[in-house]
Amino acid sequence: MLSTTENERLTSIMPGTPMGELMRRYWHPIAPSAELNDETPTKEVRLLGEDLVLFRSASGEIGLIEPSCPHRKANLSYGVPEPVGIRCSYHGWLYDVNGNCVEQPSEPAGSRFKDKVHLKAYKVEELGGIIFGYMGPEPAPLLPRWDTLTWEGHREVQIVELPCNWLQCQENSLDPIHNEWLHGYMGNVVRTGKHELSPGRGKHLKIGIDVFEHGIITRRVWGDQTEDHEDWKVGHPILFPNILRVGGGGMEEFKYRVPIDDTHTPAPV
């Protein structure tokens, strides 16, 4: 069993830690694309222990940059979208999506001081109505084209912020028995006051775990199911390191466990 100190070291996602370095090598969903619009073109976000500003320029490009203008530390979430990028609302310094300062209105003509100013900036891509960010070393990997992100048709994006770190949340995805007791039994107690499994759920009759190239697949037979049910035939893939796929019967859920910091995890679906 790991000591408390070792657990803290392994579960930390702060920059410079082993787990933090690992998580920086993956694309993470940051926000629904629809959240960046003409009325709300900027959004303060926290990802992998860093406070950042996500914005959409007037030309439609998306940037993910450090939150403070280096001139007087004004918060760039109050910035003004321009075709080139975002302009600081305090003194008008203009930054492109790569963090380069491209204009300083109060500098004398011919000044090259702007060339010395650069914000930390990270790569972003949009796919399936979601904005993804990559905060690791180059070259960046391809943003995976998972089927649920590329299918035509209706798609919803939901975000629930959980008071735990991403590893605690993902570990829960690997635990089939909690569905029987937490969702089936405790859920029924809260909803109806009856100390019994809720209708439609029953005891697990069979549990299976298979390893595949992207992670593991958990399978179950419970209640009145048989092995012909999708819960067993298809199962629930857990994609390393922080994705759970569940669903069937025409509805698919793709759940990311996104590392905000060591104590908070938003779980977009």
Distance of CA 143 to the CA centre of its chain: 13
pLDDT value of position 13: 61
pLDDT value of position 179: 86
Average pLDDT over residues 227-246: 91
Where does the chain show beta strands of DSSP type E? Answer: 27-32, 42-47, 50-56, 62-65, 80-81, 85-87, 94-96, 101-103, 121-127, 130-134, 161-162, 204-212, 215-222, 236-239, 243-248, 251-256, 265-266
Asked whether the predicted pLDDT for residue 238 surpasses 70, the reply is yes
- Low-confidence winner among 2-6, 49-53, 101-105 (lowest mean pLDDT): 2-6
Asked whether the predicted pLDDT for residue 151 surpasses 90, the reply is no
The whole-chain average pLDDT of the chain stands at 89
Asked whether the predicted pLDDT for residue 189 surpasses 60, the reply is yes
pLDDT value of position 143: 96
Between CA 106 and CA 113, with CA 112 as vertex, the angle to 5 degrees is: 65
Average pLDDT over residues 185-197: 92
pLDDT value of position 248: 66
Asked whether the predicted pLDDT for residue 7 surpasses 50, the reply is no
Q: Cα-atom radius of gyration of the chain, to the nearest Å?
A: 22
pLDDT value of position 118: 97
Confidence at 246, pLDDT banded by 50, 70, 90: confident
> What contacts 178, CB < 8 A, 6 or more positions away?
172
Confidence at 213, pLDDT banded by 50, 70, 90: very high
Asked whether the predicted pLDDT for residue 174 surpasses 50, the reply is yes
Largest CA distance in the chain: 78
- Low-confidence winner among 16-30, 38-52, 132-146 (lowest mean pLDDT): 16-30
